[in-house]
Amino acid sequence: MKSNRNPLDGKSNRKGGIPYWEKMKPKADVVRSKVAKKKPTAPSEKNLGWDDVAQWYEKLVGHEGSDYHQHVIVPALMKRLGDLRGKRLLDLCCGQGFLGRILLEAGAQEVLGVDASPQLIAAASERAKAAKKLRYLQADASEAGAWADGSFDFVMCLLAIHDVKNLHGLCANLFASMGQHGAAYIVMMHPCFRVPQHTHWGWDVENQLQYRRVDHYAKEREIVITTHPGKAASEQTIFYHRSFGTIIETMARCGLVLSGCEELLSHRRSQKGPRSDAEHTAAEEFPMFLMLEVRKQRVLK
Ligand SMILES: C[S@@+](CC[C@H](N)C(=O)[O-])C[C@H]1O[C@@H](n2cnc3c(N)ncnc32)[C@H](O)[C@@H]1O
């Protein structure tokens, strides 16, 4: 049976442990003066998408979505989307396509999923085979493409903006794919509090509180994420960290304006223990994800 304890902190009772992207962090109790500076070895440039880690991601997300998808991200997204009857939807950087079925069941007229990884697109197509209104296309979401044709009512981009190297290209395609009155919903790791390897939980003994330590934020960073530490170096992806300001500014330059913003907390809570109250408080103070709703600028003028 899986332990619910945070594996990085023997005293913590934080339930459910840590998401994969945060695993490579120092022990939560230890305030380190220096973060080990390892020069990142870039995953193969040939592979824009996630082919090298596709099998692992398919297993992690499965048919229903990961734990965070199911309990935090999808409920928040569906609440915003509202009635989907008659709507055309685009799932940008769709991965293995778990979301398509959920959108169709909510009444969507048609869903197109686009992703750079041939393997993930193959998994998504396999998953969708019985659903005629669900189509998948392998393409770079940051390059111009015929699919970005201004016909979509809603565009989704879940947990992927930080996996795309060319943010400007991605935002330009968000703009190009949406209809005049369309909206895009972008869910990302919260750029202020969740920078892999550069933000951590810590324990303040004197004040008996759990704090969030942010070592680096403002500078753009390419952070190598190893999905199976110790295994093949190819099982890596790059997380492109950008500040909140950079993200909003890039969107604005592509003609997108913010029409909604929601900071999503983790649903996971500690089991009862000496620190559980403090851990609850921290979990309710520091959001895990940021959801942005953006629209075409001229619609608002
Ligand atoms: C963390 S996964 C998220 C997948 C899916 N949205 C989900 O929530 O499960 C990030 C995805 O971004 C895709 N990706 C990265 N760069 C891309 C690009 N330039 N164009 C299209 N997809 C890209 C990867 O292939 C991967 O499927």
CATH code: domain of residue 261: 3.40.50.150
67's tokens: 């734990």
Does residue 50 lie in a domain region? yes
Say which DSSP state 189 is in.
E
Number of domains in the chain: 1
**Are the C-beta atoms of residues 129 and 104 closer than 8 Å to each other?**
no
Tens of pLDDT, residue by residue over 34-47, are 333 444 444 445 55
Distance 21 CA to ligand 1 centre (A): 14
**Are the C-beta atoms of residues 123 and 94 closer than 8 Å to each other?**
no
Which domain range does residue 159 map to? 39-300
pLDDT band at 48 (very low <50, low <70, confident <90, very high): confident
Does residue 134 lie in a domain region? yes
pLDDT band at 16 (very low <50, low <70, confident <90, very high): very low
Give the mean pLDDT of the chain: 86
Which of the two residues, 8 and 253, has the higher pLDDT score?
Answer: 253
Tens of pLDDT, residue by residue over 201-245, are 999 999 999 999 999 999 999 999 998 766 666 689 999 999 999
Mean pLDDT over 21-30 rounds to 40
Does residue 138 lie in a domain region? yes
Which are the contacts of 139, defined by CB distance < 8 A and separation ≥ 6?
Answer: 114, 115, 116, 145, 147
Pocket of ligand 1 (CB under 6 A): 48-50, 61, 93-95, 115-117, 120, 140-142, 158-160, 163-164
Q: What pTM does this model have?
A: 0.87
Distance (Å, whole) CA 174 – CA 130: 28
Q: Which mutation among 22, 50, 138, 167 tests ligand 1's pocket best, with the greatest number of atoms within 8 A of CB?
A: 50
Distance (Å, whole) CA 21 – CA 220: 17
Does residue 23 lie in a domain region? no
Say which DSSP state 33 is in.
S
Which of the two residues, 73 and 20, has the higher pLDDT score?
Answer: 73
Alpha helices in the chain (DSSP H): 54-61, 67-68, 74-81, 98-105, 118-127, 167-177, 244-253, 276-285, 297-300
Distance 181 CA to ligand 1 centre (A): 25
Distance (Å, whole) CA 131 – CA 285: 41
Mean pLDDT over 277-282 rounds to 94
Q: Evaluate if residue 11 carries a pLDDT over 80.
A: no
How many CB atoms sit inside 10 A of residue 208's CB?
11
Q: Look-up: residue for tokens 């979509």?
A: 152
pLDDT band at 20 (very low <50, low <70, confident <90, very high): low
Mean pLDDT over 265-289 rounds to 93
pLDDT band at 5 (very low <50, low <70, confident <90, very high): very low
Does residue 9 lie in a domain region? no
Does residue 21 lie in a domain region? no
Cα-to-chain-centroid distance, residue 40: 21
Q: Which mutation among 74, 89, 93 tests ligand 1's pocket best, with the greatest number of atoms within 8 A of CB?
A: 93
Does residue 25 lie in a domain region? no
Which of 94, 263, 291 minimizes the C-alpha distance to 184?
291
| Integer angstrom CA distances of residue 285 from 176, 243, 265, 297 | 36, 19, 8, 32
Distance 207 CA to ligand 1 centre (A): 41
Does residue 116 lie in a domain region? yes
Tens of pLDDT, residue by residue over 141-199, are 999 999 999 999 999 999 999 999 999 999 999 999 999 999 999 999 999 999 999 99
pLDDT band at 29 (very low <50, low <70, confident <90, very high): very low
